[in-house]
Amino acid sequence: MSAMKRKPVQQKSQIRWKRKVLAALLVSLCLASLVLVETHYSRIVSLASLRYRFTVKPKIAFLFVARNRLPLDMVWDAFFKGEENKFSIYVHSRPGFLLNKGTTRSTYFLNRQVSDSIQVDWGEATMIEAERILLRHALTDPYNEKFVFVSDSCIPIYNFSYTYDYIMSTPTSFVDSFADTKEGRYNPKMDPVIPVYNWRKGSQKSLPEFWRDRPFPADPAKEHNCIPDEHYVQTLLAQEGFEGEITRRSLTYSAWDLSASKDRERRGWHPVTYKFSDATPELIKSIKDIDNIHYDTENRREWCSSKGNPAPCFLFARKFTRPAALHLHNLSLLGARRGAKSGT
């Protein structure tokens, strides 16, 4: 009787063991299927990512510093047209200002203002913070590879294709930077944190039209002897040992040497503002013909090149009033490729 009782028990034990083996096999098959699906999914995602990278070109981020609206928006609209996948736009205006259909006629600028803008005052460190805010926003897009600061009175003087190729083909960054030996600018108290041999200066990258509301001082030379955003980036790069990674010149033309002008608006600390009467083919040609820049403080002459060949120094120019810029645009003097028959 005891032998007969053991047999069903053994059979039940074998059945349970077979069920466990079967369950283990099923689990293994499921896991293997999941791994296979995940592998195929990863390959599909990788291929899609590669295809996307080949179809989406690296972009230039245009970082506009403006007071309110952009008075030259339609000039830039013509510049950007047809190149939608190669650029992005960020605008720093006064807090609360919105770029909508009531404040811009260009679809490229609609809602492109940053949401965390600050009040900016000319000649103060707030300009530096505004530029940092723009960079923070632009860096969130992994396809932004180059960053161009633009003021609200700045114009492009070549078409987008030439500008894009010029900037993207250069491995370094363009930063106007030179040793500043002018008396009174360097404060000896900054040493040894910032030694004098690292003290640099450059023209303001993105000065908007804030100064128009400011009265001219009796002696302009005594106001704002040190403009923070003319020194911050340049000196920081020198301090951190990054000057070897930059081309020490600007891509934006400004005319400064007008101290003898009878027009008060054309003297002092601000670059000349070109008006309607100044907007001529000869002016644009003269800017495009510049192929070198001399820095007196370093006795350095910077010969301009692109892809290893001689090239114009400037892709942009400032400061232009709205009538002047639109006049040049209507004459088709802006956005022409290099060497166009119009002389531009």
**Which pLDDT score, from 0 to 100, does residue 38 have?**
55
Amino acid at 94: R
How many H helices and E strands in the chain?
Answer: 7, 14
Task: Confirm if 335 and 167 have CB atoms less than 8 A apart.
Answer: no
The CA distance from 6 to 132, in Å, is: 83
Give start and end residues of each alpha helix (H) in the chain. Answer: 2-55, 73-80, 126-138, 160-168, 232-239, 281-288, 322-330
In this structure, of 19-23, 95-99, 169-173, 201-205, the range with the lowest mean pLDDT score is 19-23
Residues 6+ apart with CB under 8 A from 275: 321, 323, 324
Q: Which pLDDT tens digit goes with each residue over 230-286?
A: 888 888 888 999 888 888 899 999 987 555 455 554 455 578 999 999 999 999 999
The CA distance from 171 to 169, in Å, is: 6
Characterize the bridge pairing of strands 305-306 and 309-310.
Answer: antiparallel
Q: Which pLDDT tens digit goes with each residue over 41-63?
A: 455 445 444 444 556 789 999 99
Helix axes 322-330, 73-80, angle to 10 degrees: 40
CA-based diameter of the chain, in Å? 128
Residues 6+ apart with CB under 8 A from 305: 311
The token pair at 260 is: 């003898």
| Closest C-alpha to 232, from 195, 192, 201 | 201
Residues 6+ apart with CB under 8 A from 103: 68, 69, 97
Query: Greater confidence, 221 or 200?
Result: 200
Task: Confirm if 111 and 98 have CB atoms less than 8 A apart.
Answer: yes
| Closest C-alpha to 201, from 180, 187, 227, 181 | 180
Give start and end residues of each alpha helix (H) in 56-152. Answer: 73-80, 126-138
The token pair at 35 is: 């791994």
Q: Give this prediction's pTM.
A: 0.75
Query: Greater confidence, 70 or 56?
Result: 70
Residues β-bridged to residue 328: none
Q: Which pLDDT tens digit goes with each residue over 81-135?
A: 999 999 999 999 999 999 999 999 999 999 999 999 999 887 788 999 999 999 9
The token pair at 195 is: 């030694």
Q: Tell me what the mean pLDDT of segment 146-166 comes to.
A: 96
The CA distance from 105 to 81, in Å, is: 13
